Amino acid sequence: MDYKPDEMMTVAAARALKNSDVCFVGIGAPSAACNLARLTHAPDITLIYESGTINTKPNVLPLSIGDGELCETALTTVSVPEMFRYWLQGGRITIGFLGAAQLDKFGNINTTIVGDYDSPKVRLPGGGGAPEIAVSCGEIFITLKQTPRGMVDKIDFVTSFGFGKGGDERERMGIKTKGPSRLMTDLAIWEPDPVTKEFTVTSLHPGVTRAQMAETVGWEIKYADSVAETPPPTEEELTVLRDLKARTAAAHGGKTA
């Protein structure tokens, strides 16, 4: 089956999740990936959204954390303070799944502003719970479409901390969780170098070239010694994803989150 780059990204992200994971889900691409995993190879995954919904199983993708679909399909809903203090900061969540407006090579995320803070070109929605998710979940997965505007050498504002300037800075700051462990884009899969913590390409999606990669990233890309080719989406993965998107569009008047 033919597929689009964003479908490859969602499928690659979904495959990173396990049946046993407890996952704090971001809206948008992370939500699509997490629910694709739930509807295919990880039916028992526990999905948690920032509004306090635990083990939610939405039939359509939510437009926001306040979407009624999340509460209606959840096992239970707790208060936001309980969600953050007991579940998140209590170390009960294995994976935090985040998106980004800007991302640097050390996994630091900007969702606050583009440009100067006092006079920005664009004021973004902000961090919400992402700054706490980034430091309290066992590890962090990130999904992002590759563009020079999104993957930049220096982000304009650090909303959610990754590895700072690299190396052991995260540990020196007293953060005990693993941090960003995988970046899934529409072109590749990236993982942090064990020592420098710089994102390194470990797998290219089918048909993607290194020249194409260079045109979409604002820093000099590092590649693993052995770069794999990402297996293309299966017929099942594409069918389930497209059905989910179609249900979402129908439910939200053409908006697919």
Enumerate the active-site residues. Answer: 50
Helix (H, G, I), strand (E, B) or coil at 10: helix
Residues 6+ apart with CB under 8 A from 99: 26, 27, 28, 29, 30, 111, 142, 143, 144
DSSP letter (8 states) at residue 85: I
Helix (H, G, I), strand (E, B) or coil at 143: strand
* CA atoms 203, 209, 213, 219: torsion sign: positive
Helix (H, G, I), strand (E, B) or coil at 221: coil
Helix (H, G, I), strand (E, B) or coil at 99: coil
Residues belonging to the chain: 257
**Distance (Å, whole) CA 103 – CA 193:** 16
- Kindly report the number of other CB atoms within 10 A of residue 189's CB atom: 21
